[in-house]
């Protein structure tokens, strides 16, 4: 072989071969999937309730089936907790709080939080695959976002556990007692971490009820908690429908604090039912976030931010940027680039590492998305969906955008909780603020412009709990998150996330 001859299989030779093959008619280059193995997950046939440090069969003797939304195949049978089971879990949490946890030094509580965080890291692949199986989200999101952030929250609040006096100088922080924590199906594991980590760091015990369609990673977390030797009863995990099991849990007289993430409708019901009870309540509810693109924005960067803002997690995100406001002078360009970008998104097998958009979590949510999209068409908006083949089984919806949207359209006002983007235009910053704030929600917003002064001017006027600048959907355990208006109240994350779990009214230390 001469020195100028390319080595066998070298890059240059491979390129020439491919060019030659492409020139031949009839040659087909098939997509090669990169599927994560589900074998790493050791699914049980049945999951019981985790109460007082033990796995207990429900006194109701009832179970429900949890499924894989991408295939509609059953994954496991899960215990359905009745009122007696809820009472048992709350009493176990109350006894653990009084006997051990509330008086345990912060540095000791921190050790348990640290153990949980390390276990999440060590078993991250298992958690990621299980999350994808039960939720339907792409494995690359479970792997790169959900599980690492869940571990990060436990690490972060482990650091606060022995520093509460410094967090609230001049006040005497004391734990409240038993916290009832009700989490949603869109980020099952991450929402468990958002709620459990600050509750435990501040000296409270918890009864956690995950969403009935996605209970499996919460139950796997219970295994981790058991293996971390957390004192029995400090964390209890019960499963069942929100209307019954969740309602009994929130109303239990021994519960001191209720933390709920979910729909605005259920949040309103909870607030009415707990009025006058003396219970602390935090609500993280729905949203209809505005993503605002000015003519001087870095357009290509903004396109990626828009895609991340609405198509991440199939749009099943409370802070999803489902309303796009584009300055008129660049609207045509932005829409053209968005349509081109949508055509590259891969919809399909959530366990494929190349998948961008996975399955909708449940049939009811898919029906809601379909109904709102039909309303957009009927009200005169123009729909665009890229051509893509959807699997025959499971709950699927193509990435969708609407143009010629009016502020009065339902798709511009109601939370869709799916991969659907409504595009509107504006001329001036004042008009952008007015339109963006014209919603019953107030959770998040994004602003894209090269002018820092404009970002600050806009952020001061936006009625949103979180405003991102030249990015979207960025989260960190040290940063507080929460909303205004019908997006709820209270904050999770950061030092602010400690306060809802503390009695700070005891005066000076």
Catalytic residues: 284, 318
- Which candidate, 142, 120, 124, 146, places its Cα nearest to that of 133? 142
DSSP 432-491: HHHHHH-SSEESEEEEE-S-HHHHHHHHHH---SEEEES--S---TTS-B--EETTEES-
Query: In sequence order, which residues have a C-beta less than 8 Å from that of residue 284 and are 6 or more positions away?
Result: 260, 261, 318, 481, 482, 483, 487, 488, 490, 492
What is the rounded distance in angstroms from the CA atom of residue 144 to the CA atom of residue 214? 19
Three-state DSSP class for residue 66: strand
- The Cα-based distances of 183 to 81, 132, 211, 242, 327 in angstroms read 16, 17, 6, 10, 37
Q: Annotate 282-307 with b (16+ C-beta within 10 A) or e (fewer).
A: bbbbbbbbbbbbbeebeeeebbebbb
Rg, C-alpha atoms of the chain: 24
Three-state DSSP class for residue 82: coil
Residue 209 backbone class (left: φ over 0; alpha: ψ -120 to 50; beta: rest):
beta
Largest CA distance in the chain: 88
Instruction: Look at the block and give the residue holding tokens 């276990």.
Output: 119
Residue 239 backbone class (left: φ over 0; alpha: ψ -120 to 50; beta: rest):
beta
Task: For Cα atoms 161, 162, 163, give the angle at the middle one, nearest 5 degrees.
Answer: 95
Query: In sequence order, which residues have a C-beta less than 8 Å from that of residue 481 and are 6 or more positions away?
Result: 284, 319, 465, 466, 475, 491, 492, 493
What is the rounded distance in angstroms from the CA atom of residue 300 to the CA atom of residue 336? 12
What is the rounded distance in angstroms from the CA atom of residue 508 to the CA atom of residue 144? 43
User: 3-state SS of 38-63?
Assistant: HHHCCCCCEECEEECCEEECCCCCCE
């Amino acid at each position: 072989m001469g020195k100028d001859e390319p080595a066998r299989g070298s890059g240059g030779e491979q390129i020439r071969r491919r060019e030659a093959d492409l020139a031949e008619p009839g040659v087909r280059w098939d997509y090669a999937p990169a599927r994560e193995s589900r074998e790493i997950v050791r699914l049980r046939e049945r999951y019981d309730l985790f109460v007082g440090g033990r796995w207990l069969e429900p006194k109701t003797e009832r179970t429900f089936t949890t499924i894989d939304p991408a295939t509609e195949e059953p994954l496991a049978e899960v215990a359905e907790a009745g009122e007696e089971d809820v009472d048992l879990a709350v009493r176990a949490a109350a006894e653990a709080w009084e006997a051990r946890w509330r008086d345990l030094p912060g540095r000791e509580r921190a050790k348990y939080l640290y153990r949980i965080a390390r276990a999440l890291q060590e078993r991250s692949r298992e958690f990621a695959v299980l999350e994808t199986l039960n939720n339907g989200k792409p494995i690359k999101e479970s792997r790169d976002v959900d599980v690492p952030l869940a571990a990060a929250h436990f690490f972060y609040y482990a650091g606060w556990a022995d520093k509460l006096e410094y967090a609230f100088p001049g006040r005497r922080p004391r734990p409240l007692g038993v916290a009832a924590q009700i989490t949603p199906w869109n980020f099952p594991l991450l929402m468990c971490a958002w709620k459990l980590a600050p509750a435990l760091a501040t000296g409270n015990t918890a009864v956690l009820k995950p969403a009935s369609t996605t209970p499996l990673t919460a139950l796997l977390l219970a295994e981790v908690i058991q293996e971390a030797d957390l004192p029995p009863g400090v964390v209890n995990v019960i499963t069942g429908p929100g209307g019954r099991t969740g309602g009994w849990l929130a109303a239990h007289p021994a519960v001191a604090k209720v933390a709920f993430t979910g729909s605005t409708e259920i949040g309103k019901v909870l607030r009415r039912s707990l009025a006058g009870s003396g219970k602390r309540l935090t609500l993280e509810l729905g949203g209809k976030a505005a993503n605002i693109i000015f003519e001087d924005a870095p357009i290509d960067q903004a396109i990626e931010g828009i895609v991340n803002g609405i198509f991440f997690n199939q749009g099943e995100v409370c802070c999803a940027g489902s309303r796009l406001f584009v300055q008129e002078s660049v609207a045509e360009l932005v829409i053209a680039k968005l349509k081109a970008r949508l055509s590259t998104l891969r919809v399909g097998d959530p366990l494929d590492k190349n998948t961008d958009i996975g399955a909708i979590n449940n049939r009811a949510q898919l029906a809601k998305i379909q109904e709102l999209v039909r309303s957009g068409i009927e009200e005169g908006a123009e729909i665009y969906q890229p051509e893509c083949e959807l699997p025959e089984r499971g709950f699927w919806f193509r990435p969708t955008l609407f143009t010629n949207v009016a502020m009065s359209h339902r798709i511009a006002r109601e939370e869709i909780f799916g991969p659907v983007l409504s595009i509107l235009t504006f001329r001036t910053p004042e008009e952008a603020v007015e339109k963006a704030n014209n919603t019953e929600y107030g959770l998040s917003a994004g602003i894209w412009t090269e002018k820092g002064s404009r970002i600050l001017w806009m952020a001061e006027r936006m009625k949103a709990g979180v405003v991102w600048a030249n990015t979207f959907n960025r989260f960190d355990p040290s940063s507080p998150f929460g909303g205004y208006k019908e997006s709820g109240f209270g904050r999770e994350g950061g030092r602010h996330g400690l306060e809802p779990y503390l009695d700070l009214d005891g005066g000076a230390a």
